[in-house]
Amino acid sequence: MIKRSIFAELLKLRHSRIGLVLAILPSISLMIGCANFYLNQGVLENGWYSLWNQVCLFYGEFFLPILIAICCSYVCRLEHLNRNWSMILTSPVSVASIFLAKLLVVSILMLFTQAFFLGLYWLAGTLFALPGHFPVETIGWSIRGWYATLSISALQLAISLRIRSFATPIGICLCAVFIGLGMYTANLGIFFPYSLLTIGMSVLNQDQLTATQNISFWVTNLSFIIIIASIAIRRLKNKDIVSC
């Protein structure tokens, strides 16, 4: 059932041109980061790592969370139109599989975005002729970042399922990004999904996480995904849907 739900979700995205958005936004954030790196090369002496720091500052802190919010709003948009909720909830598909299919589709989109961003980073580093080899750690940071996007996706999906407006969840995400930044600087980042992305992608601090920090990162993120998904599915099961 879940497989068919995923195919249905992918089918709905077929002519959406969401790929265009997923390609443009990381490219622009990378360009801003590269421009900043180029203009401050005298101060940024750590080669590949300094470049990572600059490009991730804009991408990981602001672009990616908002990109997730846009994707989540988009995958819920069709359901909010033309009484489609009534149609979907009366179809022989469980509510859990509808939510999980949406979450999986968003996570696939994010995986592509991360891979694309990493490719662009490699290209930028090569064009800058940075000394040394491509840092393999960045692949791990990208995967960890992708894992952190899952909890944000679950939360944004829950919000987008609840709020019929396309734009409001994106605004909420913007506010959450700033709250997350505040929590990260207060060393409470592990307790907030939006700060987990900063930790996961090593945006502001490239020191290696200790074993305990690493375990707590993976466990907390998983807990967030499970808790948020359970609440959203439960709500979808028990509450009346407003459709028009």
Partner 1 sequence: MIKTLGLEYYKIRRKKIWTMITLFLGVEMLWAFMSITRSIAKNPDHAVWESIIFNISSMNGLFMSIISAIVVSRICDMEHKGATWKMLIATNVRRGNLYAAKYICANSLLLFGILTQAVMMMVFGMMKGFPGTPPIEIQLQFIMGNLLTTLAVTALQQWISLAIKNQTFALCLGMLGGFIGMTAGLFPAGARHIFIWAYYLDLSPVTFHYTESTSLYVTQSLGTGIILLALAMTVLFYIAGSIHVSRQEI
- Residues 112, 22 contacting (CB under 8 angstroms): yes
Q: According to CB under 8 A, which residues from 72 to 111 bind partner 1? A: 73-74, 77, 80-81
By the rule CB under 8 A, 19 interacts with partner 1:
no
Residues 6+ positions from 62 with CB-CB distance below 8 Å: 29, 177
Contact pick of 1, 123, 167, 222 for partner 1 (by CB under 8 A): 167
By the rule CB under 8 A, 1 interacts with partner 1:
no
Please report how close the Cβ of residue 163 comes to partner 1 at its closest, in angstroms.
10
Rank residues 32 and 89 by Cβ distance to partner 1 and give the closer one: 32
Rank residues 46 and 185 by Cβ distance to partner 1 and give the closer one: 185
Residues 6+ positions from 243 with CB-CB distance below 8 Å: 80, 83, 84, 85, 86
Burial letters 39-66, b for 16+ CB under 10 A, else e: eeeeebeeebbbbbbbbbbbbbbbbbbb
Contact pick of 21, 44, 88, 190 for partner 1 (by CB under 8 A): 21
Q: Which part of the chain contacts partner 1 (CB under 8 A), choosing from 27-35, 143-151, 189-197, 204-212?
A: 27-35
Q: According to CB under 8 A, which residues from 129 to 158 bind partner 1? A: none
Instruction: Please state at what angle helix 95-127 crosses helix 18-39, rounded to 10 degrees.
Output: 40
By the rule CB under 8 A, 25 interacts with partner 1:
yes
Please report how close the Cβ of residue 35 comes to partner 1 at its closest, in angstroms.
7
By the rule CB under 8 A, 184 interacts with partner 1:
no
Beta carbons within 10 angstroms of residue 83's beta carbon: 12
Contact pick of 174, 222, 227, 231 for partner 1 (by CB under 8 A): 174
Contact pick of 64, 70, 120, 196 for partner 1 (by CB under 8 A): 70
- Residues 213, 205 contacting (CB under 8 angstroms): no
Rank residues 2 and 31 by Cβ distance to partner 1 and give the closer one: 31
By the rule CB under 8 A, 58 interacts with partner 1:
yes
Sites of contact with partner 1 (CB under 8 A): 16-18, 21, 24-25, 28-29, 32, 35-36, 39, 58, 62-63, 66, 70, 73-74, 77, 80-81, 165-168, 170-171, 174-175, 178-179, 182, 244
